[in-house]
Amino acid sequence: MAFENLSAREKEILANLINHYIGSADPVGSRVIANKFKMGLSSATIRNTLQDLEELGLVEQPHTSAGRVPTDVGYRVYVDFLLKPDQLTEDEKQAIKQGILKEGRGIQEILGQTARLLGDITNQLGVTIAPRFEVGVLRDLRLIPVSEDRLMVVVVVESGLARSLVLEVETSISDTAVREVETTLNERLRGLTLSEIRDSISNRLADVAGHARLLKLVVDSSDRIWTEDHSQDLLVSGTDHLLAKPEFAKLERLSSLLKVIEDGKVLSEFLGHAHEEDLIISIGRENTLNEIMNCSLVTASYRAGKIHGAVGIIGPTRLPYSKAVSIVEYTARSITDVLSGMDK
C-alpha cells in the first residue's frame, strides 16, 4: 500500500487514532477522534474515513460494535511516514548519561544498568546486547597465573574492550614460561580479528619451539578464548512493566515471551542484525520469532571501534514510538561515547 496514495485527511486521522490508542489501549471510535483532536470534521466524516483506512488494511475492528485499532501495517505507515520523535529535555539526557555509569565503567556493568534504565524510563522491557568481540582486532593478550593450577587469559581488542577467562592447568607452569608464551602469542596474533585467530591459531603456532604444554593448552582452548558464548550476550530488565499491560493479561502470551528471553541465545541472535544498523523498528508479525509476533522492538546500535552492540526496548505493538525512538537512539549514542572514552 503506497503511502503517497493516502489523502491528507486519511494521514491525519490515522495518526490521531494511533496516538490516542497508544495511550488508552481501547479501540478508538470516530466520536473520540472528533472530540479530542478538533479537526473540524464531523463524526460521520471521520467514520467514513476510518472505513476507508480499514479497507486499506491500516486499521481493524476487534469486534463489530467496537472502534478501530491499528494493524501492524498501520503502525508501519505511522512509524515510517508520520512519526515525530520527541525532543528529550536536558534533564532526561543527563539522567540517561548518569544512569549508564551508575554501577561502574566495566562493559557488563554499563550494559546491565542500561537495560534497567531503558526498562524504567520507557516502562517496557529494556534489552542490551554485548558487543561481538569476534570481529574485534587483537591489541594485547595477557596470561596471568592466579594459582598453581589456574591461568587467566585476558584478551584486549583495539577498541579498548577486554574479556577474560580462566583455564585449568594440570601442573604448575613457571613464570618464565608464561611470559615467553605471552610474548610469542602477541607477536604471532596481534592485528588479527579474534575469529581469524580462532580459525588459524594451530598453523600460526606450529613452528614455535618449546613450552609445548602451555601452547597446547592455549590451542586446545581456542574455542573458549576466541569464541563467545552468545547465550550471555543478552541482558534484559523490566518484565514487571509488561505485567501491567493489557496486551499481556493472558499469561500464555507473557510466558511465551519470557521463555524466549530466558533462552538468551535465540533472542540475541535475532536482535543481532541491529548491530549493523543505527536504528531498527520491527513491528508485530515483521518479527520472525513466534514468541514476539505480538510485540514491537526498537533497537539501536552502539559502537566500540569496529565492534557493534545494540540496546533497545521490547513491548506491545502499542508502543509510544515517538518517545521510545528518541530514548533508544540517545542511549546508544551515549554508550558509544562512554566506550570511546574508555579507549582514550
- Going through 134-253 in order, the beta strands assigned E by DSSP cover 138-147, 150-157, 162-168, 234-237
According to the 3-state scheme, what is the secondary structure of 186-219? HHHHCCCEHHHHHHHHHHHCCCCCCCHHHHHHHH
Confidence of residue 41 (pLDDT cuts 50, 70, 90): very high
Side chain identity, residue 12: E
pLDDT score at 138: 93
> How much is the average pLDDT of 282-310?
88
pTM of the model: 0.83
Element (H, E) at 314: strand 307-316
> How much is the average pLDDT of 215-243?
83
DSSP structure class, residue 79: I
Higher pLDDT, 231 or 191: 191
- Rg for the chain (alpha carbons), in Å? 26
Sign of CA dihedral 308, 309, 310, 311: negative
pLDDT score at 259: 81
Enumerate the CATH 3.30.390.60 domain ranges in the chain, comma separated: 134-226
Could you tell me how far CA 275 lies from the centroid of its own chain?
8
Enumerate the CATH 3.30.450.40 domain ranges in the chain, comma separated: 90-132+230-343
pLDDT score at 225: 87
> How much is the average pLDDT of 38-66?
92
> How much is the average pLDDT of 186-202?
93
pLDDT score at 343: 52
Instruction: Give the largest CA-CA distance in the chain.
Output: 88
- Summarize pLDDT for 126-182 with one digit per residue, the tens: 999 888 778 889 999 999 999 888 999 999 888 777 888 899 988 788 889 999 999
DSSP structure class, residue 106: S
Residues 48, 40: Cα–Cα separation, whole Å: 15
End-to-end CA distance of the chain: 49
- CATH architecture, range 134-226: 2-Layer Sandwich (3.30)
DSSP structure class, residue 29: -
Enumerate the CATH 1.10.10.10 domain ranges in the chain, comma separated: 3-82
CATH superfamily membership of 90-132+230-343: GAF domain (3.30.450.40)
Cα–Cα nearest to 78, from 293, 318, 329, 247? 318
pLDDT score at 164: 85
Class of domain 3-82: mainly alpha
Q: Pull the grid cell for residue 203.
A: 598453523
pLDDT score at 102: 76
Residues 67, 291: Cα–Cα separation, whole Å: 27
Side chain identity, residue 138: L
pLDDT at 96 over 90: yes
pLDDT score at 291: 84
